[in-house]
Structure 1
Amino acid sequence: MAQPHFDVVIAGGAAIGSATAYFLTAEAGFSGSVAVIEADASYQHSATALSAASIRHQFSTPENIAMSLFGTQFLRQFSQRMTVDGDCPDPAFHEGGYLFLASGAGLDILRDNHRLQSSLGADIALLTPAQLQTRYPWLNTADLAGGALGLSGEGWLDAYGMMQGMRRKAIAQGATYINQRVAGLDHANGHVNGVRLADGQRISCGAVVNAAGTGAPALAQAAGIDLPVRSRKRSVFYVTCPQPLPDCPMVIDPSGAYFRPEGQGFIMGISPPADQDPDATDFDVQYDLFDDILWPTLAARVPAFEALRCGRSWAGHYDMNLFDQNLILGLHPAIDNLYFANGLSGHGMQQAPAIGRALSELITAGKFQTLDLSRLGWTRILQHQPIIEHNVV
């Protein structure tokens, strides 16, 4: 039996993989075949489906801001662009805004970030403590020096619906989805010739995209490349509160704790302390983190949260770039047809459209055409020159 061949094989079919498949198959100058290999056809364990499902422009790195600005534009056009057979999917995008709070120690960084964000077109307002108190009387501002509020373009959405919309559109445009796991790569002389699947099947290919999330390091290692990405567990807690919080945005406390409205309640979370954040593959919810750190922190920020009740909660995983917590995008110099899109460190869903477009441009034109994301390539990793992102949540 003839061995199947695809011009592009994408390892990983969640947000990044499906966005890449969509943009490739939508590209007028690309007439090749595309296969997306995804082991979890239900996506129940994907980082996209288990994320806090939000998008923000408030980063400190120009590339991150630009990618998320494009993500907002994409979401606003989503129903029209993803229509298949008259069915217009709704990503339920709610532009509720992000509110980053700063203590005195963080005020200068907040202001610097605001200048950069505004220069790139983000709609962000700086607020004084008095303005914060007037706008959000339920917020404790006693120890705050200011805040930055996204007035438009930032908010939250149905991440699973967004991913499925891109997947369905990519299939309608000719992409083939295969429910399997990539188990290895056949490569020689700096070139990948084929992809081996867990069921023993081999697919020959013209190019491979590593969009495998937390499975990306193993796939990179199959080509002899050390990818500095590891799986880090993040728990999301759903709570109800007897007191309403009018006009509540996505709030980022100076501690890094966050909360936002979700249905009749709120979701919230915080990263574990660095010494309590090992590699993880399980999905056990970190209730001790909620009891010992998150709840006390946010009850101090929002007194009404003293009376909250924790309900349905879940855990997912970040594909954390341990080098600098930023995306690693593009070709590695050792392999001429293996493209990387890894280490999103929690930003993958919101930046997936821009990344999918960028990968499509690299594959079809050999260069970035819309956004210059070259700084996010392998060069900084190999030369030990990290890009520092101050607004990691």
Structure 2
Amino acid sequence: MTSSSVAAADVVIVGGAVMGSSTAYHLLADPNFKGRVVVVEKNPTYELSASALSAASIRQQYSSAVNIRISLYGIQFLRSIGERLAVDGERPEIGLREGGYLYCATEAGAAILAENHALQTAEGADILYMDPSSLKARFPWLNVEDLKAGTWGHSGEGWFDGWGLLQAFRRKARSLGAEYVQGEVASVEREGNRVVAVHLRDGTRIPCGALVNCAGSGGSALAKAAGVSIPVQAKRRYVFTFTCRDRIENCPLLIDTSGAYVRPEGEGGFICGASPEADVDPDWYDDDPASQDIDFSFFEEFIWPALAHRVPAFEAIKPGRAWAGPYDMSLLDHNAFVGRAGEVENFYLCNGFSGHGLQQAPAIGRGLAELIADGRYRTLDLSELNFERAIENRPLFERNVI
């Protein structure tokens, strides 16, 4: 294959889904950045991206302050997305619904729930701590017999159209000058501790001043091509849909004590899922059609019984369609790696979001843009998510993982 070179880019971003497009937008909107941004996208349909296939929700109910702060910024961004990402007077709409998250706890988990709640409210999140009688009064359809407490996002938490957010970021980035190139990175060219170019499978060479890894399920492979090993593995997650015979009023995004979740979707519908146990957690491979296979027994034997116990009306449901998608898991601590990739000084990581990517995209894109443009975080300090914690085996544990 004949190699060809294109004009140098100040920043090459690999992966044009929500993280890549958010980073491109924030870079080009940053007055301190004056440069050319090229986004390399393997599959511009995004049909296999987590951005398109996830449950698309946002919460502040985390156990680490940095994640709470990221999502507090995120909800502000989503609320004002029409103004922020409008192009030629056309305002994007993502159908944001602030129905809240409801975390349930038995006696065994109540102390941790209370500890997390104290941190969340100290950071400014609008979360209510509720005893069983308060839970039953607000959610009369909820089985509280085995519950000790629950926490519910009174405002600032909910769900939205993830596909709409991706397209809004992408359209705005393009309007500001981002160039999107279809292709797959075959190799990364380094000189010492710097990346100097990426080579695509079609032979194209793109020189770059900085390289950003927003490759999602392909993030580990791209990092390896640059000489960096990151503890991120793409896993497979299932999303199941169903309708319920009875009407469930004011249903939030419910996190059962079992780990199963459910939330409303459309008129009378619901989507649900859960993380499998580690020893049966399947991997995801973009190029293997089998990765899209769905284990319906996981719904029938685990998710449905758990949800029917918590919401008795769910004993009478009609299952609908289901799908599988990628989930880039941080094997260290279920928190993303954001920032410089160790000794490779102009290679930036944006990987391992462990299901939090869509809601964290506004703050992460802004932070990476600041780091690239100024060499530091100007507004929200994301340094706790740095790659050094993996090098030093210093995990930042997140208790609230879905």
TM-score, normalising length from structure 2? 0.96
Name 1:389's counterpart in structure 2. Answer: 398
The one-letter code matched in structure 2 to 1:261 is P
- Which of the residues 341, 347, 351 maps onto 1:338? 347
Contact 2:129-2:152 at 8 Å conserved across structures? yes
Question: Is 1:279 matched with 2:283?
Answer: yes
- Which of the residues 349, 352, 373 maps onto 2:382? 373
- Which of the residues 207, 211, 221 maps onto 2:210? 207
User: 1: CA distance between counterparts of 2:148 and 2:103?
Assistant: 11
- Which of the residues 101, 105, 129 maps onto 1:102? 105
Displacement of 1:83: 0.8
User: 1: CA distance between counterparts of 2:330 and 2:282?
Assistant: 13
The one-letter code matched in structure 2 to 1:70 is Y
Question: Is 1:300 matched with 2:309?
Answer: yes
Q: How big is the alpha-carbon RMSD for the aligned residues of Structure 1 and Structure 2? A: 0.9
- 1:23-34 matched pairs, under 5 angstroms: 23-34=26-37
Contact 1:21-1:170 at 8 Å conserved across structures? yes
- 1:188-337 matched pairs, under 5 angstroms: 188-263=191-266, 264-281=268-285, 282-337=291-346
Displacement of 1:317: 1.0
Q: Which runs of 5+ in 2 are unaligned?
A: 286-290
Displacement of 1:224: 1.4
How many residue pairs get aligned? The number is: 393
Name 2:363's counterpart in structure 1. Answer: 354
Displacement of 1:52: 0.2
- 1:171-182 matched pairs, under 5 angstroms: 171-182=174-185
Displacement of 1:333: 2.4
1:53-81, Cα deviation, whole Å (9 max, x unpaired): 10000000111111111110000110111
TM-score, normalising length from structure 1? 0.99
Name 1:185's counterpart in structure 2. Answer: 188
Contact 1:22-1:166 at 8 Å conserved across structures? yes
1:7-52, Cα deviation, whole Å (9 max, x unpaired): 0000000011000000001011211000111111111110010000
Displacement of 1:390: 0.3
Contact 2:220-2:232 at 8 Å conserved across structures? yes
Question: Is 1:41 matched with 2:44?
Answer: yes
1:199-250, Cα deviation, whole Å (9 max, x unpaired): 1101000000000011010111011111100011110011000001101000
Question: Is 1:68 matched with 2:89?
Answer: no
The one-letter code matched in structure 1 to 2:319 is C
User: 2: CA distance between counterparts of 1:245 and 1:340?
Assistant: 42
User: 2: CA distance between counterparts of 1:3 and 1:10?
Assistant: 15
The alignment partner of 1:367 has SS state of: coil
User: 1: CA distance between counterparts of 2:187 and 2:149?
Assistant: 50
User: 2: CA distance between counterparts of 1:69 and 1:199?
Assistant: 42
Contact 2:104-2:150 at 8 Å conserved across structures? yes
**Mean CA deviation greater in 145-154 or 375-384:** 375-384
The alignment partner of 1:148 has SS state of: strand
Q: Which runs of 5+ in 1 are unaligned?
A: none
Contact 1:47-1:317 at 8 Å conserved across structures? yes
- Which of the residues 134, 138, 141 maps onto 1:138? 141
Displacement of 1:2: 5.6
Name 2:288's counterpart in structure 1. Answer: none
